[in-house]
Structure 1
Amino acid sequence: MLSAAVQILAFALALLGVLGTTVATLLPNWKVSVNTWSHFMTPISQMQGLWMDCVWYSSGVFSCTMKNSMLSLPAYLQTMRAAMVLSCMVALFGLCLASLGLKCTRWGGSHRAKGHTAIAAGGCFVLASFLCLVPASWFTNEVITVFLTTDLPESSKYQPGGALCVTFISAGFLLAGGVIFCLSCPGKRSGRPDYPPSSDHPDRFVVQRDVQRRREPQMDNAYSSPSKLPPKDIKDSYSLQEYV
């Protein structure tokens, strides 16, 4: 099983991945159009995200519009929304399992149970990473394809925004933390019993077993020696004399 320091490092990476995925899901700059105009109230930057569209004007005004209608959105955008939300939920569940599987904590059962819990948490992080990578890659492909194939002017085209960079980095953190937690194999079961870490003195049971094993040969020798044999029954000796 991995050391406690390595598990804490994996937990920190997974926590950064969960925070990054949540922030990237809410950010409006999944694709950005940068326009330079000479007028005062002309927009200089237009951003589109999963939940809102925002406009940055040259006067410093920042305005956003929520995408409330689900039916008006394209199918790929609805799929990306669902995938990102599901990724955040799976990653949060993985954090709960990881807190139980850490060796430095007192809850979670025995060391073997902690190992299985850590492996389950790693699987959740890996699944959340793929659920985060798929919509980010799909969205990037859509933006680049439209940018290269359409004949629109440069001022009306969009390019990948900063939210996609945050999404890819967060997916990398989740994948790294998940792989590390998946390596937390409990290993083979040894001769020593597997006691939970919350017990106060787990070694006293081993000491009592050793003392009991030392006493068993002495008792066997006591019964096997002729001097320690139990006396015969007196009634048996009398009955033998009467017969003779």
Structure 2
Amino acid sequence: MLSAAIQILAFALALLGVVGTTVATLLPNWKVRVSAWYGVMTPVSQMRGLWMDCVWYSSGVFSCNMKHSVLSLPAYLQTTRAAMVLSCLVAAFGLCLASLGLKCTNWGGSHRAKGHTAIAAGGCFILSSVLILVPASWFTNEVITVFLTTDLPDSSKYQPGGALCVTFVSAGFLLAGGVIFCMSCPGRRRTGRPDAPTYRDELQTERVQPKGRKPGPDQEQSLSSSPSKPPPKDIRDSYSLQEYV
């Protein structure tokens, strides 16, 4: 099983991945279009995210509109929304399991139980990273395909935004943390000895088992007064030589 320091490093990477995934899901700049400046109220930058579309005007005004209609959205956008939300939930559940599987914590059971819990947490982190990478790659492919195939000036086309960069980095953190936690397998012991008892097991043993009692004075007196068995005599001493003369 891995050391406690490596497990803490994996937990920190997974935590960064969860925070980054949550932030990227809420950001509006999944794809960005930068326009030229023509006037005071000309939109300089237009951003489209998973949940809202935002416009930044040259005057400094920043306005956003929520995407209320679900059926009007394209398939890749709906898939990305569902996968990102599911990824956040799976990663949060993995953090709960990872806190139980850390060697530096007092809860979570025995040494072997902590190892199995850490492996389950690593599986959750790897699954969460897959749920991020697949729809994010699909989203990026759609944006790049439209940019290359549309006969419009580059200033009128959308490009991948900063939220996609945060998404891929967060997926990398989750994948790294998940792989490290999956390496926490306790393995099999050749000696066949049981796992070392934890502090909680020792407390329960002290409460259940009574302390050893010393023998009382009556028992000591009965033991001291019991006759001792005489040593056996030699067989040769029981016969005299005169009986055979």
**TM-score in terms of structure 2 length:** 0.80
Q: Confirm or deny that 1:23 pairs with 2:23.
A: yes
Unaligned runs of 5+ in 2: 207-227, 230-245
Partner of 2:215: none
How far does residue 152 in structure 1 lie from its aligned partner after superposition?
1.6
What is the distance in 2 between the residues matched to 1:155 and 1:184?
Answer: 51
Partner of 1:210: none
How far does residue 188 in structure 1 lie from its aligned partner after superposition?
1.4
How far does residue 76 in structure 1 lie from its aligned partner after superposition?
1.4
Partner of 1:56: 56
What is the distance in 1 between the residues matched to 2:81 and 2:187?
Answer: 40
> What do the CA deviations read for 1:100-128 (whole angstroms, capped 9, x no partner)?
00000011000000000000000000000
Partner of 1:131: 131
Aligned-residue Cα RMSD (Å) equals 2.2
Task: Give % identity.
Answer: 83
Question: What does residue range 161-200 of structure 1 map to in structure 2 within 5 Å?
Answer: 161-189=161-189, 190-199=191-200
Q: 3-state DSSP class of the match of 2:125?
A: helix
Q: 3-state DSSP class of the match of 1:38?
A: coil
Distance change >3 Å, CA 188–CA 61, structure 1 → 2 = same
Bigger CA radius of gyration: 2
How far does residue 195 in structure 1 lie from its aligned partner after superposition?
4.4
> What do the CA deviations read for 1:36-77 (whole angstroms, capped 9, x no partner)?
213011000000000000000001110000001111111111
CA contact (8 A) 1:125 1:178 kept: yes
How far does residue 154 in structure 1 lie from its aligned partner after superposition?
2.1
What is the distance in 1 between the residues matched to 2:198 and 2:167?
Answer: 38
Q: 3-state DSSP class of the match of 2:200?
A: coil
Give the 4+ runs in structure 1 shifted more than 4 A.
none
What is the distance in 2 between the residues matched to 1:198 and 1:79?
Answer: 47
Distance change >3 Å, CA 158–CA 196, structure 1 → 2 = farther
How far does residue 196 in structure 1 lie from its aligned partner after superposition?
4.7
Question: What does residue range 95-174 of structure 1 map to in structure 2 within 5 Å?
Answer: 95-174=95-174
- How many equivalent pairs are there? 208
What is the distance in 1 between the residues matched to 2:80 and 2:129?
Answer: 14
Q: 3-state DSSP class of the match of 1:96?
A: helix
What is the distance in 1 between the residues matched to 2:119 and 2:197?
Answer: 18
How far does residue 187 in structure 1 lie from its aligned partner after superposition?
1.6
What is the distance in 1 between the residues matched to 2:77 and 2:40?
Answer: 33
What is the distance in 1 between the residues matched to 2:3 and 2:147?
Answer: 48
Q: Tell me which amino acid in the other structure corresponds to 1:106.
A: N
Partner of 2:222: none
CA contact (8 A) 1:54 1:64 kept: yes
Q: 3-state DSSP class of the match of 1:80?
A: helix
CA contact (8 A) 1:107 1:198 kept: no
What is the distance in 2 between the residues matched to 1:31 and 1:10?
Answer: 31
Partner of 1:239: none
CA contact (8 A) 1:31 1:47 kept: yes
Range with greater deviation from structure 2 (19-28 or 184-193): 184-193
What is the distance in 2 between the residues matched to 1:55 and 1:199?
Answer: 58
Q: 3-state DSSP class of the match of 1:117?
A: helix
Partner of 1:238: none
Q: 3-state DSSP class of the match of 2:32?
A: strand
Partner of 2:85: 85
Distance change >3 Å, CA 196–CA 157, structure 1 → 2 = farther
**TM-score in terms of structure 1 length:** 0.81
What is the distance in 1 between the residues matched to 2:197 and 2:162?
Answer: 46
Q: Tell me which amino acid in the other structure corresponds to 1:127.
A: L
